[in-house]
Structure 1
Amino acid sequence: MSSLINTEILPFKATAFHAGKFVDVSDADLKGKWSVVFFYPADFTFVCPTELGDLADNYAEFKKLGVEIYAVSTDTHFTHKAWHDSSETIGKIEYVMVGDPTHAISKNFEVLIEEAGIANRGTFVIDPQGKIQIIEITAGGIGRDASELLRKVKAAQYVASHPGEVCPAKWKEGDATLAPSLDLVGKI
């Protein structure tokens, strides 16, 4: 996989399930605000609902940061609606659930498992200019943590709004940052 960090997202168009309706979504919707594109293998599975439920439980915190979440699987928007309507965990989702049955979006973000026709667990944080700032890809059996994603989004937003500063390991909102300089080399 080539690094997609700091690259602009590629064009796409898809249909999603959101707020009880089918809606069109494109790369243009991700620009002008912070976005999280959260790929998962498939609806009606095992680890996936735990991750999507965790995101739903933390969605208000993402919204406070001005972040929209787009959950994407290679299932259709119809399948997303059926899952939303039949699962208590998925029923609490208020963010956008994008269908990618053509695999175009999964290919754009380089997470498609070609032989299986499903996406890897990939998380992408995209800045308002449409550039990818964070990428996390995990194996199918390893679920992600929304609170850790929130921490990373806050760090990305901080760095974007404070040129010349960086966030060290385990940085949390309000913690000290670093200003890289020759004076710091070998002193950390």
Structure 2
Amino acid sequence: MSLINTEIKPFKANAYKDGQFKTVTDADLKGKWSVVFFYPADFTFVCPTELEDLADNYAEFQKLGVEIYSVSTDTHFAHKAWHDTSPAIGKIKYTMLGDPTLAISRNFEVLIEEEGIADRGTFVIDPEGKIQIVEITAGGIGRDALELLRKVKAAQYVAAHPGEVCPAKWKEGEKTLAPSLDLVGKI
């Protein structure tokens, strides 16, 4: 069953952000757009390149009212240690959630049970707490923050403009489509 348009399940997690430990729950994701970005583990190889890419583009997500939450099955203590020792991870200003109980990874259906780590899963959640975008890639395939940003803009546009849809490669300001009987077979 697809997670698209389903409400996020309840969770509570310890997190690291801005030099502090904090608690984050599913309620914190509601009321604004959110990206929940799962990665396999701290102190690895592809993961820091992705998290740094998100850090480099975080201000652009913030301009859209989007909060980012990275999640791995490591603890919030490991996140702090990684943040303090890695130049790439040291750039991060968004919230890094620890999921040592594996509950959040299970809720989002990205847990690799036999390894106790998460797949590379990306979820865009609307202000009502419903999942609008799901992307899961294999462990060796890194994601692109700018492509994610484009998808978030498309999701926000569609939410704000009922009856319109964004075609392939749509970018902000470009023409959208209004599905109708007259459009069938004309594209």
With normalisation by structure 1, the TM-score equals 0.99
Query: Helix, strand or coil: the match of 1:88?
Result: coil
For 1:43 and 1:94, the matched residues in 2 are separated by 16
For 1:132 and 1:38, the matched residues in 2 are separated by 13
Indicate the residue corresponding to 1:18 in structure 2. 17
Indicate the residue corresponding to 2:54 in structure 1. 55
Indicate the residue corresponding to 2:99 in structure 1. 100
1:142-184 CA distance string (max 9 Å, x none): 0000000000000000000000000000000000000000000
1:41-87 CA distance string (max 9 Å, x none): 00000000000000000000000000000000000000000000000
Kindly indicate whether residue 84 of structure 2 is the aligned counterpart of residue 85 of structure 1: yes
With normalisation by structure 2, the TM-score equals 1.00
For 1:19 and 1:35, the matched residues in 2 are separated by 18
Question: What amino acid is aligned across from residue 111 of structure 2 in structure 1?
Answer: L
Indicate the residue corresponding to 1:68 in structure 2. 67
Identity across aligned pairs (percent)?
A: 84
Question: What amino acid is aligned across from residue 39 of structure 1 in structure 2?
Answer: F
Question: What amino acid is aligned across from residue 36 of structure 1 in structure 2?
Answer: V
1:74-115 CA distance string (max 9 Å, x none): 000000000000000000100000000000000000000000
1:118-140 CA distance string (max 9 Å, x none): 00000000000000000000000
For 2:149 and 2:69, the matched residues in 1 are separated by 15
Structure 1 residues 24-173: aligned runs within 5 Å? 24-173=23-172
For 2:162 and 2:69, the matched residues in 1 are separated by 28
Unaligned runs of 5+ in 2: none
Alpha-carbon deviation of 1:34? 0.1
Query: Helix, strand or coil: the match of 2:81?
Result: helix
